Structure 1
Amino acid sequence: MTTTRHESEERHEAAPALLEVDDLEVRFPVYGSGLLRRVVGHVHAVSGVSLRLAERETLGVVGESGCGKSTTGRAILQLVKPTAGSVRYRGEELTSMSSAGLQRVRREAGIVFQDPYASLNPKLPVNDIIAEPLKVHRRWRDGGPERVAELLRLVGLSPEHGNRYPHEFSGGQRQRVGIARALALEPRLLVLDEPVSALDVSVQAGVVNLLEDLQERLGLSYVFIAHDLSVVRHISDRVAVMYLGRVVETGTREQVYESPSHPYTQALLSAAPWPDPRQERVRERIVLTGDVPSPVNPPSGCRFRTRCWKAQEVCAEQTPELTDRGNGHPVACHFPD
C-alpha cells in the first residue's frame, strides 16, 4: 500500500521523539593578537538549529563544508558545549546535565567519526579499541571478550583479526572497527559524522548497506551527516539542509529531493550528477556566484542572500524563519518555490 507524503509526515509527528533539538547555538571565540588575548569576535558555527528524530529513523543533515553540520552533531552529544538552546534525549535535557548523567546517556548515544584512522588509537590492537567502552562503563567482566568477538562478526570482520593494529586494515575495514566500537554498549542513537566520505566509492556502498542492516537488526536511530547528496538520499528518511550554521529546509526525503523549495537546496541538487548521461547533458544547472560568507561576520537577514538570485530588500532586513507552509515541509525563505 502506497504511503502519501501527508501520511508520512503525520506518522513522523505521531512517533515518539528520541531526540529533540531546539534553537541550538554554538559560537567559538576569536582572540586578537597581543599579550591580553582579548575576544574580538565569534565564529557563528551553529545558529538556531532545530531538529527532531524519531525511533528507528534516519535524519540526514546535508550541506557544504563549513556549514556547521559536524559541529551540530558533536553539540548534540555534548562533545562541544552549546552556547544556547536545548537538546533533549528521551525527554532528558542534556545541556544542563551533570558529568555522571552524560556518562549514562553516552551508553545509549554514540558517534562514528569521518576519518576511521584518526579516530582509532594506532597503539592499540582492535580488540582493545573495541573493548575500551566496555571497560570505561564497567561492563567488561560481564562477558567482555565474547562481546568483542560478537561485535567484530556483527560488522563483517573476523574475530581472528582482533589482535591486528589499525594500520593493518583497509579504510573500509577501519570504519567497520569504528562502528563496532560505537555499538559496544548497545546504543539506541548513533551520530554518523560523514562516515563514508573518506572511503573509495566502491567501499562506500558496503558501509552504507552495513549501517542499514544494523539499523534494521538493532532498532537504531541515526543522525547521518554528509555532503554527498546521493548517499543521504539513499539512507535517510528525513533530510535537513544547512547553510552557514542554519537549517534552511527540512522534510521527508521525497519532499526535499523531488520538490526542493529553498534556492540553496535547488542549487545543491543542480550540482549533483545525474545517472542518465543524456539528461546530464541537456539539463539546466544553477551556478552560484560569490563565495560563502565568513561565519565570523555572517550577512544580515537571510545568510544565503549574497549568493541568491531571488534576493530582494526584505532578505537583508529580515531573517526568514523556518516555516511550515502547509505541507509538512518547512523552509526558511521569503520567496520559496
Structure 2
Amino acid sequence: MLAALTLLAGAAAVTFWLHRPLPLRLHGQPVVDVVIEPGMSAAQVADALVAAGVETSPLWLFAWFRLSGQSRALRAGSYEIAPGTTPKTLLDKLVRGEQALRRLTLVEGWNVRQVLQAVRAADQLIDDLPPGDDPVALARHLGLRSGHAEGRFFPDTYVYPKRTPASRVLQQAAAALDARLAEAWAQRQPGLPLRSPEEALILASLVEKETGLEADRARIAAVFINRLRIGMRLQTDPAVIYGLGQRFDGDLRRRDLVTDTPYNTYTRAGLPPTPIAMPGWNSLRAAVQPAPIRALYFVAKGDGSSAFSQTLAEHNQAVQRYQSQGRR
C-alpha cells in the first residue's frame, strides 16, 4: 500500500513539474548542446541532458520520459536545447529527432581545393579528412571508385547535424554526383565521341569553367565535341590553368600554353585526364546534348556570352572585333 502511494505521489509530482509554466533552466549558457548516442537508455539520455547543462534532476526527466510512454522513442542525434524549452517541448524534440542542423553549400565550378576550404570553414563539421588538398588522397579516404576526387562532388547545399564528420557530407555529395552523372549519361545523344560517363564528366567540367551563361553551354560543348570528332586539340585555357596549379598567378602567359602538363590541351590531344572542377547539372546535360552546330571556335564577347565560328578566319575576325584574348 505504501509503495503504491509513493508511486502515485511521484507521478503527481512529475505531472505538476511537467505542467508548470516555467521552462527548463539552462546552466550558464544561452544554448545547451547535447549528443544522444545510439543505444542510450531513457535514463542515460536524462543524465546526458543534465550533464550538458539542463538544470533539473535526471530522475525527474527519466520519470517524465517513462510516464509519457515514449521513453523508447527517443532518437539519437545532436541537439540544441534553447531558452524557453519546457519538459514537453524537450520530449517532442527528442522524439521527432529535431537535430541541430547546419548547411554547407558547394558551388558550381569549384575545384577540390575550394571545396576543402569550404568544408574546413563549415560550422560544426568534424575535419576527419587527410591534410592538404591532394585529390588522390581524398578519393582514397572517401572510397571513391574514380581514384581522383576532382569534380566528383555535386554542387548543391547539404544539410547535416552538428558534429558530423566532413567525410560523411562529401560522400553524400559524391553519391549525388554519381546519380546525376548516370542520369545525364542515360540521356546522351547517339554517336558522341565520348566513351564513358567519366569522359562526359570531364567535358562537363570544361564547359562549366568556360561559361556561366546557360544559353552558351550546349554550344561550347558542341565546339569541344566537334574538335574531338576530328582529332583537333581542345585548346581550352581553364584546363591549362588547372594544370599549372599553385604556379598560376592570375595571368596566363604564352609560355604557359607551350609548357606541357597532363592538362595542357594545347600540347596534348583529347580530354584532360580528370575533371578540372565541379560541373552543375546544366553543364552535365550540355556535355551529352551538345547544340547542333558545326562551330570549331569560340571567343568571349565581353558581356558574358561567346561568339562562335566555323573557320579560323571567322574566328580571327571575331577576336579582333571583341578585343578578346581568346586563343581557340
Give the TM-score band, short-chain normalised. under 0.3
The structure whose residues are more often helix, as a share, is: 2
TM-score (norm 1): 0.20
Larger Rg: 2
TM-score (norm 2): 0.21
